Structure 1
Amino acid sequence: MTKWIFIIAVLVLVSCKEPQKEPTNAVDEKIALMKADQAFSALSVEKGMKTAFIEYLDSNGVLLRAGQLPIIGANAIDFLIQQNDTGYTLNWQPQNAFVSQSADLGYTYGVYALQPGTIDTVFYGTYVNIWKKQVDGKWKVALDSGNEGIDSTDFDY
C-alpha cells in the first residue's frame, strides 16, 4: 500500500512541473523585429502611412504626437483614420533593435524621412517604436514616437 502512495505522490509531483518552453534565440528574435519594422516602413511607402499604422498598431497601442496628449487604443485608430496621407511619403530605417529575454517585448529606433509630394525637400527625424509580440507570433507597435528636425548631413540614410 505504501508503495502505491509513493508512486501516486511521484506522479502528482511530476505532473505539476511547468511545461518547458522552447528557448528563444535572441539573435533570431532581434532579426525578426528588425524585419517587422522594415516591413512596416515598406507598407507606409507602398500604401500610405495611414494603412501601415492601422495594420501594425496594437489594439491598445499608443501614439505620442507633438502638442497632444498620448493617443491610446481605439482613439489612436480613429486619429489615424482621420489622417490624409496622400500628400507625402513617410519611410524610415531602423538602426537597431532590442528584444526582452522573454521575447514578447522589444523596441526599434532609427531615422525617418518625410517627403511632401509637391516639393523636393525631405524632412528627417528620429523615432522609437516599442513592440509587443502577439499570440500569433507577429510583432505589433505598442508605442510610437518620433522627433523631427535632424540634419541629413548627420547620418547616412
Structure 2
Amino acid sequence: MRAIDLPVSLAGLLFCSTMLAQQVQLDPLAKPAPSANMSNALTDPTLSPGVAFLFQLEAQFAKDTAKGGGKAFASWFADDAVTLGNKEAPVLGHAAIVAQTTWSPDQYQLTWTPQGGQMSPAGDMGYTWGHYEGHSKDKNGNQVTTSGRYMTVWKKQPDGQWKVVLDSSSEEPPSAGDCCKIP
C-alpha cells in the first residue's frame, strides 16, 4: 500500500523542518539519508516532504531507543500520549508510559522500520506505520523475537517539538499453517 500524499504549505513544511532540526540537530533541507534499519521508502523520491520529515522523526526515535532503551523510548511521548499494545490495556499519559518502559538496551532491543505515512494539510500532525521487531531472552537465556505492525501518530507540541501522541502495535498474525490449530 502506498501512502497518500497531502499538500503541505511550503511555509508550514519549512517551519516543521526547522523545529525538527532544532530538536534532533538535522538539516531541515537535507534529503533523508538511508540507514541500515530504515526502509528504502525513506529514500524514495516520490515521497512528499511531509512524509520524508516524519520518516526522519522515526529514524531519530529508533536510533535513540536502540541506544537508550525504554527510558529513551518514553522520552519521545507527549504528556497526554496513549500506547495500545496487543492484548494489553491502554497506557494513558507520559508518566504511565515511563513507568512501563523500563528496559535497558542490553535486556531488550526494539527496532522498527516505517513503510508509509501521511502528514496533515496543516503540517502539524501526521502518522507513520510499519514493521517492528523486539529481541530479548527468556528466563532460560533463549532468544525470543516478537514482530508485528505499528502505527505512530505524531503531533507538533506548543513548544514546537514533535512528540508521539499515539503508539499502537499488534503482533504478526500466525503463519498460514498455524491459523486453524486448536490450542
Scaled by the length of structure 1, the TM-score of the pair is 0.70
Tell me, yes or no, if structure 1 residue 97 matches structure 2 residue 123. no
In the alignment, residue 59 of structure 2 is paired with which amino acid? Q
Structure with more helix by fraction: 1
Specify the alignment match of 2:91 in structure 1: 71
List per-residue Cα deviations over 1:14-72 (Å, max 9, x = no partner). Answer: xxxxxxx9643493322111110111111111121x12322211111101123333211
- Answer yes or no: is 1:39 the counterpart of 2:60: yes
Find 1:84's aligned residue among 95, 103, 106.
103
- Which consecutive aligned stretches of 4+ in structure 1 deviate over 6 angstroms post-superposition? none
Aligned to 2:97, the other structure's residue is in SS state: helix
The answer (yes or no) to whether the contact 1:95–1:108 under 8 Å persists in 2 is: yes
Residue 120 to residue 84, structure 1, CA distance change in 2 (3 Å): closer
Residues 105-144 of structure 1 mapped to structure 2, 5 A cutoff: 105-117=125-137, 118-120=141-143, 122-144=145-167
TM-score, L = length of structure 2: 0.61
* Structure 2 counterpart of 1:44, one-letter code: T
Structure 2 SS opposite 1:67: coil
> Match of 2:51?
30
Q: How many residues align?
A: 129
- Are residue 149 (structure 1) and residue 137 (structure 2) matched? no
Q: Which structure has the larger Rg over C-alpha atoms?
A: 1
1:51-66 to 2 correspondence within 5 Å? 51-66=71-86
Give the CA deviation at 1:147.
Answer: 0.8
Identity %: 29
Unaligned runs of 5+ in 1: 1-20, 153-157
- The answer on whether the counterparts of 2:74 and 2:97 sit within 8 Å (CA) in structure 1 is no
In the alignment, what sits opposite 2:24?
none
